[in-house]
Structure 1
Amino acid sequence: MSKAIFITGAGRGLGTDIARQALTAGHQVVATGRRPENVLKALGGEHDNLLVTALDITSTDAAQAAVDAAVTRFGRIDVVINNAATFQAGYFEEISDAQMRAQMETNLFGPMNITRAVLPVMRAQRAGHIVTISSIAGLVGQEFCVAYAASKFGVEGWMESLRYDVEPYGIKTTIVEPGFFRTELLVDASTSWAELSIDDYAERTKTTKAMWQSMNGQQAGDPAKLADALLKVTDLDEPPLRFVAGDDAIPTAEAKGRQITAQATASRTLGSGLAHTDAA
């Protein structure tokens, strides 16, 4: 069945793959990006089922305008895929306050802006599916990823709780937790490096930054295959709350689950029996 699918960050990387495959499958696609001309070029030009519109996800006004344009063109929005994101790399002390806040504005508040604009449409329809791309870094903290992980951990908590808010109106939610895919997250347009410099971190920063730069274009995951899997998830009658994607991500998520269970068990001696005596 054809759906109207709204995609952020459709000008390159995974967003382009999702939009391209959705069009091939016969869906109506709203493909958004900061530079609509780049989105249109990436998708091969005009298409009867394609609306390309400018969108800065950090702007609430732009989010509302893009949603209004989508409804005007296609009459409804069945699926939102919050894909647009950036990667702020670096050690915490070397990341400026402005950089940390910018990471949150894009990766956390950006998807919130889009979702806030689209939920009245989906509530009126009594149907819809909010899909937000998180990361395995939203489950597992990693060195040099403190800002990115913080933003994605935020996405996880927001989306997991949002489920309960919107479920009574027929709206589904899915968090996507990819591992390392050969998207364009590590290109200069998507990655920022810490702008401060502290001697204690200098050698580690140099080495770790070079390691991350060397990974660009070498990641094992195929974003076209991930796009195909995501579209299949949106076709499910009961989509999962979490979709862990990638041969690297699945065992990592499983190990995290075991680690949390072990930590909860280890906390039992000191963490139990802390209630007020009159609460028994």
Structure 2
Amino acid sequence: MSQQNDQTGQKEDMTGKKVWFITGAGRGMGTDIAKAALAVGHAVVATGRNPEKVAHAIGENEALLAVKLDVTDPAAAEAAIQAAVDRFGRIDVLVNNAGNFYAGFFEEITPEDFRAQIETTMFGPMNVTRAALPVLRAQRSGLVITISSTAGIAGGEFLTAYAASKFGIEGWAESLAPEIAPFGIRTMLVEPGFFRTELLTPESTRYAESTIGDYAQRTEQTVTSWKSMNGLQGGDPAKLADALIRLAELEQPPLRFAAGADAVGLFDSRAKELQDQANAHRELSSNLAHDA
């Protein structure tokens, strides 16, 4: 009984279980997170554009509900949250994982593709979280996990659209945290480095068409390098999924979790860069107030 349209309408006995609601669960990291949650005895609402594909990827399990969801559609988000509550009665952990990747130099990414990136990886988590918050507030409990990226900590060339969406989601989640903390709801941002997921596959990554000669050589080099990296990334998504299960059990999960040794290194270097930038013109920066 894993499909949304197979529901009997009866809420299950959830004693001792948590209910995980995971977006983008049909492949990649979302599938691993769903499997990890089920493995320790939790119930999972796994969502994706194709619920049959989601159910097949995760495997048959009585504690699994696969639900159709396009995160860019607010009405679909509300319907998916309602389906979760109808089946399990509550939501304990929301994982905003669904994503894609529009890569390319800013001048060559079309405005439509740039907006499509923002719609999925910034407004998508917002749509789902907005739909879930009334449930979490009523419970006076819950954890909102948002899968960000090291591209939300430090930008870089070829990442303008993706980094813009991830920087946006970082600011949103950090600001949301104190708004909902009084209701017993926590938030956690996860910044993975390079993990062996499907992010760099043709199904997830769309490269901007090379149209400007000044960028042509760098575009070719970058695309070739990234395609060669696919399937060879160092991070193990199954281990990350297990780590998230552990972190979700904490009374106070971290606001941010650097996922992977490369992510920890980037956090360290970014912190130093910011400190160096603060110090570079400290006197000038500190003397911009009105004269007394």
- Report the TM-score range of the alignment, normalised by the length of the smaller protein: over 0.9
- Structure 2 counterpart of 1:3: 18
Does the aligned pair in 2 maintain the 1:95–1:196 contact within 8 Å? no
- Structure 1 counterpart of 2:55: 40
Structure-to-structure mapping, 1:198-217, within 5 angstroms: 198-217=212-231
Give the counterpart letter for 2:57 in structure 1. A
TM superposition score normalised by structure 1: 0.97
Does the aligned pair in 2 maintain the 1:96–1:196 contact within 8 Å? no
Q: Percent identity of the aligned residues?
A: 59
Give the counterpart letter for 2:120 in structure 1. T
Residue 57 of structure 1 and its aligned partner are, at CA, apart by 0.2
Q: What is the alpha-carbon distance in structure 1 between the residues aligned to residue 134 and residue 54 of structure 2?
A: 26
Give the counterpart letter for 1:123 in structure 2. R
Per the alignment, in what secondary structure is the counterpart of residue 144 of structure 1?
coil
Structure 2: 5+ residue runs without aligned partners? Answer: 1-15
- Structure 1 counterpart of 2:96: 82
Residue 203 of structure 1 and its aligned partner are, at CA, apart by 1.2
- Structure 2 counterpart of 1:120: 134
1:231 matched to 2:245? The reply is yes
- Structure 2 counterpart of 1:12: 27
Q: What is the alpha-carbon distance in structure 1 between the residues aligned to residue 171 and residue 147 of structure 2?
A: 13
* Corresponding pairs, count: 277
Structure-to-structure mapping, 1:232-271, within 5 angstroms: 232-271=246-285
- Structure 1 counterpart of 2:117: 103
Residue 164 of structure 1 and its aligned partner are, at CA, apart by 1.1
Give the counterpart letter for 2:164 in structure 1. A
Q: What is the alpha-carbon distance in structure 1 between the residues aligned to residue 130 and residue 96 of structure 2?
A: 12
Residue 196 of structure 1 and its aligned partner are, at CA, apart by 5.2
Give the counterpart letter for 2:160 in structure 1. V
Q: What is the alpha-carbon distance in structure 1 between the residues aligned to residue 122 and residue 281 of structure 2?
A: 31
- Structure 2 counterpart of 1:57: 71
- Structure 1 counterpart of 2:46: 31
Give the counterpart letter for 2:17 in structure 1. S
Q: What is the alpha-carbon distance in structure 1 between the residues aligned to residue 107 and residue 145 of structure 2?
A: 32
Q: What is the alpha-carbon distance in structure 2 between the residues aligned to residue 184 and residue 88 of structure 1?
A: 14
Runs (4+) of structure 1 exceeding 6 A deviation are none
Q: What is the alpha-carbon distance in structure 1 between the residues aligned to residue 197 and residue 75 of structure 2?
A: 28
Q: What is the alpha-carbon distance in structure 1 between the residues aligned to residue 281 and residue 98 of structure 2?
A: 38
Instruction: Report Cα offsets for 1:60-98 as digits up to 9, x if no partner.
Output: 000000000000000000010000111111111010000
Q: What is the alpha-carbon distance in structure 2 between the residues aligned to residue 230 and residue 267 of structure 1?
A: 40
TM superposition score normalised by structure 2: 0.93
Greater Cα offset, 112-121 or 264-273: 264-273
Structure 1: 5+ residue runs without aligned partners? Answer: none
Give the counterpart letter for 2:25 in structure 1. A
